[in-house]
Amino acid sequence: MLEAQAHQQLKRLLQQDDGAWPHQLTLSRLVGRSLRRRDKTLIKLSPDSRDRWWLGLLVPLCLRANNCVLVLNQRQRDRLLQIELPKLRNQGVPLPCWDGSSPPPGEQLWLLSSSGLIRAHREGWLSGRQLLIPDVDQLSRRLRRSLTIRIETHDWEVLRRAHPHADRLLLDLHERLSRRLFRDATHRNGRLRMEGADLQALKDLLQLLQPSPDPWGRLLQTAPDGWVSWAVLDHSLLQWSWRLAPLEPLQDLQGLLRDQPALLLSCIGQTSHLEQELRDAAFDADVTATLGDSAFQEPVPIYAPRRQPLPNTEIYAEHLLDHCRRLILGRRGLTVILLDDAPLRLGLTSALAAEFGSRVKEEATAPDANGVISARWSWWLKHQHQLPQPEQLIIGLLPIASLTSPLTAARVERMKRNGDDWFRNLLLPEALSLLPAAISPLRQSGGRLAILDGRLRGRRWGDQVLSALEPWVPLNRLLPD
């Protein structure tokens, strides 16, 4: 039986690793069972298991990798190729991998990126193959990035050269859009929602000009009710680029998780949003398992004063600067400040740099020992593995998506049309899903968490945020070292 073979093989490997993740053997048996039965399995892992689950996933694949597809982001791919595969090979347990855009000719494990997964699905190459997707919580975001159509200034030139007889029409259309976009822009270098009539006018013209070079051909395939488009403005060059993205990529890629067996690895925390996404994608799990108990994690000290101003008040920027200054004073380790509002983040970074000097940087992967990094949430989640463990994490604003984002606004409008509670069913669950992974380094370093967003205490849903951070202990006052 595959599960028993994987168990014995992994047990032999773990004898040489005293600090192994305690759930490796259980994970390997679950993976082996899913590979043998070719079912749909969802495994929820604790946030502190990041990058410790690799052996439990890979050892069963060493025994049976045929017709399996492993979907990885770039960081995971680098770790697999540079660390995990050499480790297995040195232990005499090789894993044959096929790193190509077309299906493997033999029984190798097929490695795919998100864009490769989309192509394989559309070409019908996934039929009969089992998908293995670690970090499935981020799958929708990764698929949306891969599906996003980007139309730059030079693409208009390419289209005009391809259809010289329509040169004047295309030039007039581009100039008319440019004038309107820069006239309606509310601030420099922002993002502006494109009207549906603009897209339809261009589609009508492209229909007459077929065939057209990419990305224009892909633009014709977008559905008006399932996609959103916006312009990214560059005032310094008076140019703009066009972006088109699907609202719900898993629904756009119909059958991706429905038509073949799949093993999904998720992070424990607020999984309600993920589970809703999987239901919408027709993924009906045959087996759901949870590995790791949050009760056994190290509690994080949380500093969150009860009387804090709300982010939309005039005094919030001053409040944020004052508390960040107090939190940073005397710290010997790394401090990370998380803030998605770009103007607010830049102003805070400048003010802190004026006081603390060059130790304050924005989104830098080589900080000083006692450095201060201000960053977006997405940057921190992507690069935290390249940084030393922080001594403290300061949340300036909770990661609730802003309605100024054209993508977020379009998704909210769609939910409003369906009569759904767009905040509690979309924005809040997505924000809560980011918290466990964002603070997981603090559980290993013993650092503290500060939340300076007044909505934590001033809104009824603040208790859900605190629940997503369990286990934690209150830090009621800042004590000197």
Q: How many CB atoms lie within 10 A of CB 416?
A: 11
Task: Note the pLDDT of residue 191.
Answer: 87
Residue appearing with tokens 């997505």 = 430
Task: Note the pLDDT of residue 424.
Answer: 92
Q: Which residues pair with 227 in a beta bridge?
A: 246
| Contacts by 168-173, CB closer than 8 A, 24 or more apart | 169/205, 170/205, 173/201, 173/202, 173/205
Tens of pLDDT, residue by residue over 268-327, are 655 667 888 898 889 999 999 988 765 557 789 999 998 899 999 999 999 999 999 999
Token output for 424:
């509690």
Task: Note the pLDDT of residue 481.
Answer: 47
pTM of the predicted model as reported, rounded to 2 decimal places: 0.90
Task: Note the pLDDT of residue 403.
Answer: 92
Work out whether the CA dihedral 194, 200, 201, 207 comes out positive or negative. positive
Task: Note the pLDDT of residue 344.
Answer: 95
CA separation for the pair 197, 235 (Å, rounded): 24
CA separation for the pair 93, 89 (Å, rounded): 5
Tell me the pLDDT of the chain (481 aa) as tens digits.
788 888 888 888 888 765 677 889 999 999 999 999 999 999 998 876 778 899 999 999 999 988 999 999 999 999 999 999 999 999 888 999 999 889 999 889 999 999 999 999 999 999 999 999 998 988 999 999 999 999 999 999 999 999 999 999 999 999 999 999 998 887 776 788 988 888 888 899 899 888 999 999 999 888 888 899 999 998 888 899 999 999 999 988 989 999 999 999 987 655 667 888 898 889 999 999 988 765 557 789 999 998 899 999 999 999 999 999 999 998 899 999 999 999 999 999 999 999 999 999 999 998 999 999 999 999 999 899 889 999 999 999 999 999 989 999 999 999 999 899 999 999 999 999 899 889 989 988 889 999 999 999 999 999 999 998 988 999 987 765 4
φ, ψ for residue 373 (rounded to 5)? -115, 125
Cis peptide before 211 (omega within 30 of 0): yes
Token output for 64:
């049976």
Token output for 349:
């970074």
Task: Note the pLDDT of residue 18.
Answer: 59
Spell out a b/e string for 263-283, using b for 16 or more CB atoms within 10 Å of the CB, else e. bbbbbbbbbebbbebbeebeb
Apex 167 CA angle, 161 and 168, nearest 5: 160
Nearest residue to 423 via CA among 451, 405, 403, 437: 403
